[in-house]
């Protein structure tokens, strides 16, 4: 039962996040140094949200090619989880770092807008087949646009370079994470990803089961 490993792994991350010295260099910190420990938790959340939306796009493509309703279910689960983790990321970074929070808040807000639109579309369509196909089409269009946005955002916020990740990459662009920080961060990323796929799997199974119950009536 590998899933059980997720528990101690995350627990370890939590403990290390508070026991180790804060990953933020006190000299360049713009906020409370300790608060930056959240770094171990919010970056992986953002990664998982982005991953989820990309997964959603591939499921949508699969749906359009095979018309298998299970793919629609998977795309829906992916988009749902994407919004969940994006919201978690938003809550964690709210009120965090005033200088560069704009770009994070903006990209987050846009992401929520995009996938909120996805759910608005789903609720406006009643026919199952139409809804599944149209949602798949929109997901693909949305995700492609979101990818474009990655290139576009640095234009609105050139101050993006003013990242407090000066702790990760110093002025010469070299990795300056201390090894312990890097390990814990890496572990957090892996654990978050594992947790994500577990939640993803459960969401799909719940959907399938509910669908089975409904169609047996």
Partner 1 sequence: MPTVSVSWAGKITTVFRKEMLSEFRTRYAFNAIIMFSLVTLTVVSFSLGINRPGPEVMAALFWIILFFAAASGLAQVFVKEEESHTAGFLRLYAPATAVLIGKIIFNLFLLICMTVLLVPLYIILLDTIPQNFILFTIGLLLGIIGLAGSTTIIAAIVSRASIKGALFAVLSFPVLLPLLVAAIEITLVSFTGGDFAAAGSALQLLLAYDVVMLTLSIMLFDFVWQL
Partner 2 sequence: MDANYIVMVVVLIVWTGVFLYVWSVDRKLKTLEKRDEG
3 state SS of 212:
helix
11 binds, among partner 2, partner 1, none (CB under 5 to 8 A by kind): partner 2
- Stretches 38-46, 75-83, 93-101, 127-135: which one binds partner 1 (CB under 8 A)? 127-135
Buried b (16+ CB within 10 A) or exposed e, 158-180: eeeeeebeebbeeeeeeebbeee
Q: Which of 61, 64, 59, 110 is nearest to 83 (CA)?
A: 110
- For residue 142, state whether it binds partner 1 (rule: CB under 8 A): yes
CB 145 within 8 A of CB 114: yes
Q: Is 29 in the site for partner 1 (CB under 8 A)?
A: no
Q: Which residue has the tokens 């590998």?
A: 2
Between 37 and 104, name the residue whose CB sits nearer to partner 1: 104
Q: Does 214 bind partner 2 (CB under 8 A)?
A: no
Tell whether residue 69 is a contact of partner 1 (CB under 8 A): no
How many angstroms from the chain centroid is the CA of residue 135?
Answer: 20
Site string for partner 2, 152-191 (x = CB under 8 A): ----------------------------------------
List 136, 181, 184, 195, residue binding partner 1 (CB under 8 A): 136
């Amino acid at each position: 039962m590998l899933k059980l490993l997720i528990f101690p792994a995350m627990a370890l991350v939590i403990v290390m996040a508070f026991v180790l010295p804060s990953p933020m260099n006190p000299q360049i910190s713009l906020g409370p140094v300790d608060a930056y420990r959240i770094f171990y938790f919010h970056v992986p959340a953002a990664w998982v949200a982005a991953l989820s939306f990309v997964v959603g796009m591939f499921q949508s493509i699969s749906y359009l090619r095979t018309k298998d309703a299970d793919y629609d279910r998977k795309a829906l689960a992916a988009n749902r989880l994407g919004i969940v983790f994006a919201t978690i990321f938003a809550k964690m970074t709210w009120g965090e770092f005033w200088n560069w929070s704009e770009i994070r808040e903006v990209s987050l807000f846009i992401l929520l807008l995009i996938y909120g639109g996805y759910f608005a579309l789903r609720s406006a369509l009643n026919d199952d087949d139409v809804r599944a196909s149209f949602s798949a089409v929109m997901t693909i269009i949305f995700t492609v646009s979101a990818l474009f946005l990655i290139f576009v955002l640095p234009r609105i916020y050139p101050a993006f370079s003013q990242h407090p990740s000066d702790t990760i990459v110093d002025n010469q662009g070299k990795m300056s994470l201390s090894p312990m920080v890097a390990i814990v961060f890496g572990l957090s990323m892996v654990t978050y990803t594992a947790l994500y796929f577990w939640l993803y799997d459960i969401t799909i199974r719940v959907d399938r089961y509910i669908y089975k119950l409904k169609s047996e009536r």
